[in-house]
Amino acid sequence: MTTVYIALGSNLENPGLQLQRAVDDIDSLPEVELSGCSKLYISEPVGPEGQPDYCNAAVRIETTLEPLALLDAMQAIENDHGRVRTVHWGPRTLDLDIILYGDDIIESKRLTVPHYQMHVRNFVLCPLLDIAPDLTLPDGRKAAALLAEVGTAGIEVVATKYPWL
Ligand code: ROI
């Protein structure tokens, strides 16, 4: 079993509900055990302007799936939620990013872990810290220290305990 952190994001078609359903979908995978779920956040979009605010959250899972099999499973859930890949950094119904996979460092064509922008995104760090206050990255950096550098501007809690809605 490997402990994995997944970040969830949505800014289309009832984002809060998209995330809640996505948590249920992840929990339903036979090779996955859900071991933590963050608060639900609303956050200002990073990237192109003029897109709706995002809902963001994170989960911790224990899984026997290898990284690329887990990526396949996450992309299948994204596709089930009607995700269409169009504009780079544009609006999306559901984004499921593998942030950390144990202490592994993965740099393959399809997958980079730790997620290459986790250290600069408060909408990833805030929910991660809900479920893992002492979280340390494979390179030894503390998630709490990274959030202190980034700050919490543009992000707010909308619900504390899962199920959020
Ligand atoms: N901005 C916010 N606030 N939340 C996200 O989940 C998110 N996801 C993205 C981009 C477009 C970079 N911006 C985001 O992929």
When pLDDT is cut at 50, 70 and 90, the band that residue 150 belongs to is: very high
Dihedral sign, Cα of residue 60, residue 101, residue 103, residue 10: negative
Cβ-contact 38, 59 below 8 angstroms? yes
pLDDT at residue 121 in the model: 97
pLDDT at residue 85 in the model: 65
Is ligand 1 within 6 A of the CB of residue 43? yes
Q: How far apart are CA 73 and CA 135, in angstroms?
A: 24
What six digits make up the tokens of 161? Answer: 């305990």
Residue 7 CA, closest ligand 1 atom number: 6
CA-nearest residue, atom 11 of ligand 1? 89
Instruction: Tell me yes or no: is domain 2-159 CATH 3.40.50.1000.
Output: no
Q: Could you tell which of 121, 122, 125, 158 is best to mutate to test the pocket of ligand 1, judged by most ligand atoms within 8 Å of the CB?
A: 121
Q: How far apart are CA 11 and CA 19, in angstroms?
A: 10
Please give the model's pTM, rounded to 2 decimal places. 0.96
Q: Please report the DSSP string for 29-97 in residue order.
A: -TTEEEEEE--EEEEPPPSSTTSPPEEEEEEEEEE-S-HHHHHHHHHHHHHHTT----STT---S-EEE
Is ligand 1 within 6 A of the CB of residue 163? no
Counting other chains too, the contacts that 23-29 makes at CB distance below 8 Å and 24 or more residues apart are 23/57, 23/59, 23/162, 25/77, 25/80, 26/59, 26/61, 26/74, 26/77, 26/96, 29/63, 29/65, 29/73
**Does the pLDDT of residue 77 top 70, yes or no?**
yes
When pLDDT is cut at 50, 70 and 90, the band that residue 91 belongs to is: confident
Best CA proximity match to 56, nearest among 20, 32, 86: 20
Residues serving a catalytic function are 83, 92, 95, 97
Q: How far apart are CA 125 and CA 51, in angstroms?
A: 21
